[in-house]
């Protein structure tokens, strides 16, 4: 009887251990990883790998910031919720002579700068009238949905908004249905949402800018503003382009990387999902053109039309 009881208890113990092993076999090990990353962008796998280790930067949500919060009892009303607000007063190179232009649509005034044979806006576009320009409806935002950030670093636009896709679709001579998950035959010059006399630069025109400042490998250092970039990743702003680290809006609605990255749409489409954007990053001295999801919100810099 005693032996039978011992055998019975041993059998129960064996079954219990077997269940544990079976359950463990269905769980991923600590070293395993998923191939899906919903909070990643292409910089994490391509551009960042050559600049720093993968653990040195973590994505920021819209509620986080690398700018220290003001001490208790002090006022934060003099700066916006984004780190770009901190650098507005000193974002332009004092050694550069800037021009200016007025957007006739809303009377906003922008600094301009001549770089080689091109004349660029030296500030990001901040045009928001979705009544006059229906392409902007629910396709442009201020960083963190804070209007103070638009005043500092312009708006963030989807590619469909940047190219003014509604106007292209209703063009009587050459209607084009463009935007996310669509391809189209764009005109040679895409005026997009730029002011009259200005247009959205093509990939070729961005490359022309890189060549003018010595090549893409060092263009980032020259194009970035002298202040405002995380971890002292500032540029020389040698030609007055004064690129602010305005961050971007993900297609999921989250705002990320203010203080760390600047991204500007081009008028050049890659495929139905992606278009080319010019990117600058705080830890890199180069500038790069990568294709990116058209539903992301990036900045817009306009280029003056050829005379």
Decide: residue 225, CB within 10 A, 0-12 exposed, 13-18 middle, 19+ buried. buried
Let me know: does 169 contact 178? Beta carbons within 8 Å: yes
pLDDT of residue 84: 61
pLDDT of residue 304: 98
pLDDT of residue 85: 54
Question: Over its length of 307 residues, how does the chain's per-residue pLDDT go in tens digits?
Answer: 545 544 444 444 444 443 333 332 222 333 333 222 223 333 333 333 333 333 333 333 333 333 333 232 233 333 344 556 543 445 899 999 999 999 999 999 999 999 999 999 999 999 999 999 999 999 999 999 999 999 999 999 999 999 999 999 999 988 999 999 999 999 999 999 999 999 999 999 999 999 999 999 999 999 999 999 999 999 999 999 999 999 999 999 999 999 999 999 999 999 999 999 999 999 999 999 999 999 999 999 999 999 8
Query: Where along the chain do its domains lie?
Result: 87-304
Write the DSSP symbol of residue 124.
-
- 139-178 b/e with 16+ CB inside 10 Å = b? bbbbbbebebbbebbbbbbbbbbbbbbbebbeeeeeebeb
pLDDT of residue 79: 37
Kindly report the pTM of this predicted structure: 0.74
> What are the Cα distances from residue 63, in Å, to 143, 255, 261?
11, 9, 17
Torsion on CA atoms 201, 207, 213, 215, rounded to nearest 10: 160
Sheet with 198-199, edge to edge strand ranges: 99-102, 109-115, 118-121, 303-304, 198-199
Torsion on CA atoms 50, 54, 55, 56, rounded to nearest 10: 30
H/E stretch holding 299 reads none
């Amino acid at each position: 009887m005693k032996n039978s009881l011992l055998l019975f208890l041993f059998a129960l113990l064996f079954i219990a251990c077997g269940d544990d092993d079976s359950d463990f076999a269905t769980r991923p090990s600590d070293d395993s990883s998923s191939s899906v990353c919903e909070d990643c962008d292409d910089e994490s796998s391509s551009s960042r790998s050559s600049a720093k280790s993968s653990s040195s930067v973590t994505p920021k949500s819209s509620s986080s910031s690398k700018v220290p919060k003001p001490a208790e009892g002090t006022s934060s009303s003099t700066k916006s919720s984004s780190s770009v607000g901190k650098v507005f007063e000193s974002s332009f190179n004092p050694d550069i002579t800037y021009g200016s232009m007025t957007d006739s649509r809303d009377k906003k005034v922008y600094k301009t700068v001549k770089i080689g044979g091109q004349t660029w806006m030296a500030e990001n576009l901040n045009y928001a009238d979705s009544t006059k320009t229906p392409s902007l409806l629910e396709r442009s935002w201020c960083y963190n949905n804070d209007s103070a950030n638009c005043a500092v670093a312009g708006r963030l636009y989807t590619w469909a908004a940047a190219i003014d896709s509604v106007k292209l679709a209703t063009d009587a001579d050459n209607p084009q249905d463009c935007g996310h998950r669509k391809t189209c035959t764009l005109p040679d010059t895409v005026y997009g949402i730029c002011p009259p006399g200005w247009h959205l630069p093509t990939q070729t025109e961005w490359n022309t800018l890189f060549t003018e400042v010595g090549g893409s490998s060092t263009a980032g250092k020259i194009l970035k503003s002298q202040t405002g970039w995380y971890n002292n990743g500032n540029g020389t702003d040698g030609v007055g382009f004064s690129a602010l680290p305005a961050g971007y809006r993900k297609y999921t609605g989250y705002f990320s990387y203010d203080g760390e990255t600047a991204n500007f749409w081009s008028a050049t489409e890659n495929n139905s999902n992606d278009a080319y954007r010019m990117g600058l990053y705080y830890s890199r001295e180069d500038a790069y053109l990568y294709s990116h999801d058209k539903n992301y919100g990036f900045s817009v810099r306009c280029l003056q039309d050829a005379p």
